[in-house]
Amino acid sequence: MDNEELRIDKWLWCARLFKTRTMAADACKGGKVKVDSVSMKPSHDVKPGEVISVQLGQLHKVVEVVSIPKSRVSPKDVPNIYKDVTPAEEYERIEFMHAYKVEYRDRGAGRPTKKDRRILDKLKREE
């Protein structure tokens, strides 16, 4: 099951951190994927033991590479590919955001439209 190295964009896709390899490559190009606190290009070769931090939406996930798969793995085999070393505080922060329905808008999305405001108001009232 182990090769020696694999491109980081392909490894992120194989490890099911991204839905497509293109999304993984775009995240690398956008500086959202770091190895030992250094942004990586999609062509960087991943080796077992490296610590990769990935920005997945609001979640800042940190994983340690355990093995290099030959192809994309099934969800039940993901623990054989990487070890999740994300701090518990990060998951608590995300849970807090969902529990209290903290409003979040993507940067550059502009002001909410009237329809968006109605939807937000409706969600807030459902507490």
The pLDDT-based confidence of 5 (bands split at 50, 70, 90) is: confident
Count CB-CB contacts under 10 A for residue 123.
11
Q: 71 is written with which tokens? A: 């192809």
Q: Map out the domains of the chain as residue ranges.
A: 1-86, 87-127
pTM attached to this predicted model:
0.73
Q: What is the pLDDT of residues 59-69, one digit of tens each?
A: 899 999 999 99
Q: What is the pLDDT, as a whole number, of residue 85?
A: 92
Q: What is the pLDDT of residues 59-112, one digit of tens each?
A: 899 999 999 998 899 999 999 999 999 888 888 888 877 666 656 677 788 888
3-state secondary structure of 82: strand
> Which is the CATH superfamily of the domain at 1-86?
RNA-binding S4 domain (3.10.290.10)
DSSP 5-59: -EEHHHHHHHTTSSSSHHHHHHHHHTT-EEETTEE--TTPEE-TT-EEEEEETTE
